[in-house]
Amino acid sequence: MILHDYWRSSAAYRVRIGLNLKGLAYTSVSHDLTMNEQRDPAYLAKAPQGLVPALEVGGRVLVQSVAILEWLDETYPNPPFLPVDADGRAAVRAMALVIAADIHPVNNLRIANALRSDFGADGATVVAWMQRWMTAGFDALEAMVARDGGDFSYGDAPGLADILLVPQWYNAERYRLDTTPWPRLAAVVDRARALPAFAAAAPERQREAD
């Protein structure tokens, strides 16, 4: 497996966690997003959106982090990322989508760059923008984890929701968001970060890290 990666990409961070949890070996190929290396024609031929992550496996190139994670879970079912029951799977997917559909799309590097270049936003404005959408998402997730969580976001084993939560929490810390309003999420993140699969995937552990 070849993971097209960038050390500080939260979407790539998710896939690193997923691969580690499944115990799968992979080779990382870094594309520096700050240098627009993901726009190289050779990479665009593999991943037409020019985004990371992409996972090359078995002659195919899989894109979009959640799709990759679900493929991993279907192909390598143990340990599972999703509960066995339909209600549980819906609950976990809803948590994951709060991050993947509602927080991350308006917080990624492309959006931050557009705010600066197209709308004249200064650094403080960009930080306020990031914090606004993370706060809204974390407010909802705190209530969802309070309802369905245990040691982790859903139950007592790490799963899809945690794989997305930990990288988003990393982003919150980068943008100096006060996370004290979400103690349940903080406890889940602490437990997850203590696991080797999560720890090894952390941005600061990647060889390209600044």
pLDDT of amino acid 34:
87
Task: Mark whether 187 and 97 lie in a shared domain.
Answer: yes
Greatest Cα pair distance, the chain, in angstroms, is: 48
Residues 93 and 188 in one domain: yes
Residue 208: inside a domain: no
Last residue of a domain, which of 56, 79, 102? 79
Tell me the C-alpha distance between 44 and 9, whole Å. 17
Are 39 and 90 found together in one domain?
no
Question: How far apart (Å, rounded) are the C-alpha atoms in residues 23 and 12?
Answer: 17
- pTM, two decimal places: 0.94
Rounded distance between C-alpha atoms, residue 208 and residue 210, angstroms: 6
Query: Is residue 91 domain-shared with residue 187, that is, in the same domain?
Result: yes
**All residues at 6 or more sequence positions from 180 whose CB lies less than 8 Å from its CB, including other chains:** 186
Tokens of 178: 């006060």
DSSP-derived secondary structure for 121-151:
--HHHHHHHHHHHHHHHHHHHHHHHHHHBSS
Per-residue pLDDT tens digits for 29-52:
999 998 989 999 999 999 999 999
Return the residue matching tokens 């790539």: 12
108 against 54, higher pLDDT: 54
Amino acid symbol at 151 = D
What is the number of structural domains in the chain? 2
